[in-house]
Amino acid sequence: MSGKQQECSQASQRQDAKRIAQLMQHGLLKPSFVPGTVLRDLRELSRDRNSLVAERSRLKNRIQKILEEANIKLGSVASDILGKNGRAMLTAMVKGKENPEQLADLAQGQLRLKIPQLVEALRGQVRAVHRFRLQQQLERIGSLCPKGTKKLSYNRHAAGRCESQCGKMTF
């Protein structure tokens, strides 16, 4: 910026400041909302939690893709491939179990009613590279989950403390 432009810029800034000061004196400007520390902390925690949930979803999709590459259709039978049953089967695959009957036998609860469909869904070709990639993704998810649950419970605690300041919030 040249010297003349800088002078004009400073002059207009002074005029703007005077105009804003006049508006403030006459009460024509509404004050800005500045959230308190509790609300700011709650917002930060909520953003962190949203990031963790998004990361977990990405990892779950990667696992699903690896299973599809191995021609394993676990997601078509089990509602949650990362639930207790799905994890047990994925862990067994990582450890080298390939027999669909043995893998399906790991099912518990309502999923036991679907053993024939599970056996069919678990017929595939899990190679060493699939095992390695599955293990990596499962480890990443394992490192995310405990942190996410701690943040969620902290969010609920902070939301309770913050209720008077920012109204009712639900999670």
Instruction: Dump pLDDT digits (tens) for 108-140.
Output: 999 999 999 999 999 999 999 999 999 999 999
Average pLDDT of the chain, as a whole number: 84
**pLDDT above 90 as % of the chain:** 63
d(CA 115, CA 33): 58
* Residues 6+ away with beta carbon under 8 Å from 111: 77, 78, 85, 118
pLDDT-derived band at 148 (thresholds 50, 70, 90) equals: very low
pLDDT-derived band at 92 (thresholds 50, 70, 90) equals: very high
pLDDT at residue 169 above 50? no
Q: What are phi and psi of 74, to 5 degrees?
A: -55, -40
How far apart are the two ends of the chain, measured CA to CA in Å?
A: 50
pTM for this one? 0.68
pLDDT at 159: 58
pLDDT at residue 5 above 70? no
pLDDT at 171: 39
- For residue range 33-71, list pLDDT tens digits in order: 888 999 999 999 999 989 988 999 999 999 999 999 999
Q: What is the DSSP string of 98-125?
A: --HHHHHTT--GGGGGGHHHHHHHT-S-
pLDDT-derived band at 10 (thresholds 50, 70, 90) equals: confident
